[in-house]
Amino acid sequence: MEDRETNSQPLLAATPSPEGPHHQISAAAAIFSAESSDIPLITTPKDFFTQFFIESKKLWYLAGPAIFTSISQYSLGAITQLLAGHVGTLQLAAVSVENSVIAGFCFGVMLGMGSALETLCGQAFGAGQLDMLGIYMQRSWVILNTTALFLCLLYIFARQILRAIGQKAAISEAAGVFAVWMIPQLFAYAMNFPIQKFLQAQSRIMVMAWISAAALVVHTVMSWALMLKVKWGLVGAAIVLNASWWFIVLGQLAYIFSGTCGRAWSGFSIKAFQNLWGFVRLSLASAVMLCMNILGWTVMVSFGMNAAVSVRVSNELGAAHPRTAKFSLVVAIITSFLLGLVMSLVLIVFRKQYPALFSSDTQVQDLVVKLTPMLAFCIIINNIQPVLSGVAIGAGWQTAVAYVNIACYYLFGVPLGLVLGYILNLGVLGIWSGMLSGTILQTIVLCIMVYKTNWNKEASLAEDRIKKWGGHTDSKAGET
C-alpha cells in the first residue's frame, strides 16, 4: 500500500492546467471539464454548499445512469427466475440456485477483476492519456476471458458442487444442466465489465443505460414467449438470458468501434499482451475487494454511487486535481448517507405492511418485522461502505483494501456471526449481526485510510501509475 500521510493543506485554488493539442472529449463528459483547476478556497458555508451543488451534479450525472444500468442488468436474471416459477417448482429452484451460487459467484469475480480498469482508465482519462484506455480494456479482456476458461469448471461440475454443499439431488441435477447451458453468459461477463469501465471512465454512461434498457425489454418479452408460450422451459430461459447478455456486449462494442470514442479506441494492439502479470495482480485484488458487496436489489443504488465516485476520483487524480478528488469523496459520502437514511426510514415506517408483499406466512412476516431495524441499519452502512470502496478503486488502493476486506469480513465478521448465531443460539439475528459487524469494521478502517490520505501525493502517484502501465508523458494533467 502506498504511503498516505495526513494532508493538512486547505482547499486552495490551483493554477489551471493548459489543454494539450489533442482536446477530444464527448459532449457527455463536457460537464466535467468546465473547470480545469482544483476547486477554489472554501471559507464560508455558502462556499461549501455552492461547491456541493456543483459536485453533486457531476456525481449524479454518472450515478443516475449507472444505477439504472445496474438495475437493468440485474433484472435479466431476476425476470428469468420469476418466470421459471411459472414453469414449475423444480425449475424455479434450479434457476435460483444457479443464479445465486454459480453465476452469482462468477459475476462477482468478473465484476471485481474488471474494476481494476476503474483506476487505470479513470486516471489515464483525467491525465489526457486517451490512447491508453483501449489498451487497458484489451488487457482486461485477455485476463478475464482466460479466467472464464477456468471458471467454466464451476459450470461443468455444478451438479457435483451443489450436492457437496448439501443441495437436494433433484435440484442439483436440474441446476447442473442449466449451468452448462449458461456458459456463454460467463464469457459475456468477461467482455462486458471491461467495456463498462472503459466507457465509465469517459463519462459515456447513457449509452450503457440505453442498451441495457433495450436488452431488458426484449429479454422480458422473449423469456415470456419461449419459457411459457412455446414451453421450452429452462432451455428457453438459457437461450434468452445468454442472448440478452451478448446483446449488451455487442451493442456496446458497436458503439465503441463506430469511432465515437476518438483516441480512446484506435483498434486492436499487441500492447494488450504487455505487463499482463502486473495487470493480473491488480485485477485479483479488485476481485477480492468487490466480491463481498454483491447483495442484490438493496445495493443497486450504492453500486451506482460506487462507480460514479470511482470515476470522479480517478479522473481528478489523473488530472492532478487532488482537492477536487477529496471534495468529491465528501459529497458522495454525504449523499449516500442521506439516501440510505431515507430508505431506512421508509422501511421503519412501513415495517408492518411491506412483509406481506413477499410472503403470506404470518410467522415469516413477524420475523421480517423483527429484523427490520437491523435491515434499516444495514442499508445505511451498505450505502457508505461501497462509496469508500469506490474511492479506493479510483485511487488505486485495491491490494490494500483487499487485505482489509479479508481481515474484517472473513476473519472477523463471519466467525463472529457463526458464534452469535449457533453457539449463543441467536439464530438469524446473530449471524446477521456478526456479518454486519465485519462490514462496520471495514467502514471504520476505510474511513481511517481516507482520513490519513495525502491527496497531493495520490495525484503524483496517479501520474507514476499511468507511466508504469504504458502511458506517455507529453500529455498534461487536465487535458482531455
| pLDDT score recorded for residue 7 | 41
User: Which residue in this structure is represented by grid cell 468478473?
Assistant: 110
8 Å CB contact between 315 and 329? no
Consecutive sets of 10 residues in the chain, 480 residues long: mean pLDDT of each? Answer: 40 34 37 53 83 87 84 85 81 82 81 73 79 86 91 93 82 91 94 90 88 94 92 90 95 92 84 69 54 49 75 82 85 86 85 65 70 80 79 74 80 85 77 83 87 80 67 44
Comparing C-alpha atoms, which of 472, 463, 477, 474 is closest to residue 2? 463
Residue 124 main-chain phi, psi, to 5 deg: -65, -40
Alpha helices by DSSP H, 452-478: 455-468
Q: Which residues contact 147 (CB under 8 A, 6 or more apart)?
A: 109, 110, 113, 190
8 Å CB contact between 102 and 159? no
8 Å CB contact between 116 and 314? no
8 Å CB contact between 317 and 462? yes
SS3 state of residue 101: helix
Distances from the Cα of 81 to the Cα of 21, 78, 95, 186, angstroms: 52, 5, 6, 17
Output DSSP code: residue 202. T
CA gap 21, 77 in Å, rounded: 46
From the number of C-beta atoms within 10 Å of its C-beta (0-12, 13-18, 19+), residue 369 rates as: middle
Angle between helices 104-114 and 116-126 (to 10 degrees): 30
| pLDDT score recorded for residue 185 | 94
User: Which residue in this structure is represented by grid cell 452469482?
Assistant: 104
Query: Is the entire prediction scored with pTM above 0.75?
Result: no
| pLDDT score recorded for residue 61 | 84
CA gap 211, 254 in Å, rounded: 11
Number of other residues whose CB lies within 10 A of the CB of residue 279: 21
| pLDDT score recorded for residue 55 | 86
CA gap 433, 425 in Å, rounded: 13
From the number of C-beta atoms within 10 Å of its C-beta (0-12, 13-18, 19+), residue 10 rates as: exposed
Distances from the Cα of 199 to the Cα of 29, 31, 100, 418, angstroms: 11, 16, 27, 41
DSSP letters of 211-223?
A: HHHHHHHHHHHHH
Comparing C-alpha atoms, which of 454, 314, 470, 442 is closest to residue 2? 454
C-alpha cell read off for 164:
457437496
Q: Which residues contact 25 (CB under 8 A, 6 or more apart)?
A: 33, 480
Residue 52 main-chain phi, psi, to 5 deg: -60, -45
| Number of residues that this document lists for the chain | 480
| pLDDT score recorded for residue 250 | 96
CA gap 201, 318 in Å, rounded: 11
| pLDDT score recorded for residue 365 | 67
| pLDDT score recorded for residue 433 | 85
CA gap 309, 137 in Å, rounded: 20
SS3 state of residue 181: helix
Comparing C-alpha atoms, which of 6, 318, 362 is closest to residue 132? 318
